Copies of this chain bind each other. A is one copy, B any other.
Amino acid sequence: VDKQISPAVIRRMPRYYRYLTELLEEGTERISSGELSRRMKVTASQIRQDLNNFGEFGQQGYGYNVQYLHDEIGKILGIDHTHNMIIIGSGHLGQALANYSNFKKRGFEVVALFDVDPALKGKKSGGVEIHMMEELDEFVKSTPVHVAALTLPKAYAREAAEHVIALGIKAIWNFAHMEMDLPEDVTIESVHLSDSLMHLSYLITDKERQS
């Protein structure tokens, strides 16, 4: 039924959501594609094209209702319902994620952290308990888990990924510097911090080269 929506459009949706949240906080009730285009520094054409992939959210002569558009994009992104998330690897990065309250607003609820370090056993981070890895199987049996965030060293990440997949978890938020082949029913979103850093390095270096 649904026509295929291009990856480029999908990648832009979170950014729209972000701006619409800001507009809501400012108390703005309506916005035109022209005004939004000035704020976001994209063309008004692109905004209208992007949104029209998903439906007709605006009104001729009026523009878009901020609250309505915000909520509709939320539904498109699927952040209107809760995803339970576990975090594998309770180092600084894992704990940073556990403490990041914004995720809850995005429909993600951290239900447990895991680690191999016995010193962390039973401690809490962001109000969530840290479990030992050997408790993982049992935990997943008793609590529905939709996403596993992998915040452990590269050397253990592949193994951990295979483990959570074997337990039936279908989505991975990967922070480990690794590439892997996954069963096609498993969704993976990777955050490659060192790619981002290399990109920054390029931008800096390129600027130096210009001058």
Contacts and interface: CB of A to CB of B under 8 A. Distances in A.
A187 to B, nearest CB: 5
A78 interface: yes
A168 interface: no
A48 interface: no
A173 interface: yes
Contacts of A170: 204, 207
Contact of A102 (B95, B96, B100, B194): B194
B204 A83 contact: yes
A157 B194 CA distance: 22
A85 to B, nearest CB: 9
Interface string A182-200: 0001010101111111111
Nearest to A101: B153
A163 interface: no
Contact of A198 (B17, B96, B97, B146): B17
B200 A14 contact: no
A111 to B, nearest CB: 15
A103 to B, nearest CB: 6
A197 B14 CA distance: 9
A15 to B, nearest CB: 7
Given A18-B192, A19-B179, A191-B191, 10 more contacts: A10-B202, A11-B199, A14-B198, A78-B205, A100-B193, A106-B194, A147-B204, A170-B207, A187-B204, A187-B207
16 contacts: A13-B198, A77-B205, A78-B208, A79-B201, A83-B204, A102-B177, A103-B194, A106-B198, A108-B197, A147-B204, A171-B203, A171-B204, A173-B200, A187-B200, A189-B203, A191-B193
Interface of A: 2, 10-11, 13-15, 17-19, 22, 76-79, 83, 91-93, 95-97, 99-100, 102-103, 106-108, 146-147, 170-171, 173, 177, 179, 185, 187, 189, 191-209
